[in-house]
Amino acid sequence: MNRPLFDKVTLIGVGLIGSSLARAMHRHGLAGEIAGCARTEESCAHLLELELCDTAHSDPAEAVQDADLVILCVPVSANAALAEAMAPGLKRGAIVSDVGSVKQSVIRDVDPFLPEGVHFIPGHPIAGTEHSGPEAGFAELFENRYVILTPPPGSDEEALEKVAQLWRTCGSTVEIMEPGHHDKVLAITSHLPHLIAYTIVGTAANLEESERREVVKYSASGFRDFTRIAASDPIMWRDVFLNNREAVLEMLQRFNEDITALQRAIRWGEGEMLESRFQQTREIRRGVVELGQAGTFDPREPEKVKKEE
């Protein structure tokens, strides 16, 4: 039997991402022991009932004792307090990582609390669904997805490779990226689309009651897709926008300029401009499909999986 990659892994927060990672690590034999950390004793007991963890703790410092790898799987605004709370329990040589969608703020909030000799390798699995909670996870979530690692300058190469190996074994493609560049790229590929989805669904919610009922009843595929995105964890996304505000505002300004151009084209009947823009965006979609990034397969909901044309 092969030795696990890590003798002990601690997951701080075991929601969709944390529980999916626990299931994937169980499946692939990546951890000799998995410890979970949740806010309440009731939540800890639930993690044990679901058999996601071998032990569960409400005290972060207790949860990370003897851990070789600690992964923060919480909304990014919680990172600073949790890093401070768990720091006394971290052993020398331990690796700390995370799964947050914003990387510069994670480094700002976590790194100052880590003891000397503890390695910090921030990460971001670009995977997820609109569901949340420990029951929402599944081991296949990370298969054929990208995971971006954003190690600060001077990071330990061996620690970086072990974190990368963890994700690769879970089925992901690992990329290394500078934290600021990550935040700018994700502002357009993830953060802005969520902001637009929240806005469109919010606009529908503010219609007259009779119109709102018809919007729900006659939802076409486009609006349904927006409602799926807008159903994502509100606390997580609140934190993303507040912690990546500069990049999001820059992309939002560009988006507003493009919307104004399209508005003008519609008003003045500029069909060629509209067709050219729609052809350009169609090519982007084809590229997404060709790279295998068109969607996440959720084995619990096979009826939602459609073949991409």
Structure tokens given for 250: 């820059």
E-state strands within the chain: 6-12, 31-37, 55-57, 69-72, 95-98, 119-120, 123-125, 146-149, 173-176
Question: What does the domain layout of the chain look like in residue ranges?
Answer: 6-177, 181-304
Tell me, what's the pLDDT at 302?
Answer: 47
Contact 241, 190 (CB under 8 A): no
* CATH code reported for the domain at 181-304: 1.10.3660.10
Tell me, what's the pLDDT at 227?
Answer: 86
Q: How many other C-beta atoms can be found within 10 angstroms of the C-beta atom of residue 95?
A: 24
Contact 191, 101 (CB under 8 A): yes
- DSSP assignment of 100-135, as one string? -S-SHHHHHHHGGGSPTT-EE--EEE----S--SGG
Place of tokens 């486009």: 222
pLDDT tens for the chain, 309 residues long, are 579 999 999 999 999 999 999 999 999 999 999 999 999 999 999 999 999 999 999 999 999 999 999 999 999 999 999 999 999 999 999 999 999 999 999 999 999 999 999 999 999 999 988 888 999 999 999 999 999 999 999 999 999 999 999 999 999 999 999 999 999 999 999 999 999 999 988 888 888 777 777 877 777 667 888 888 888 889 999 999 999 999 999 999 999 999 999 999 999 999 999 999 988 888 887 877 776 666 655 555 544 433 332
CATH architecture for the domain at 6-177: 3-Layer(aba) Sandwich (3.40)
Tell me, what's the pLDDT at 220?
Answer: 67
Tell me, what's the pLDDT at 216?
Answer: 73
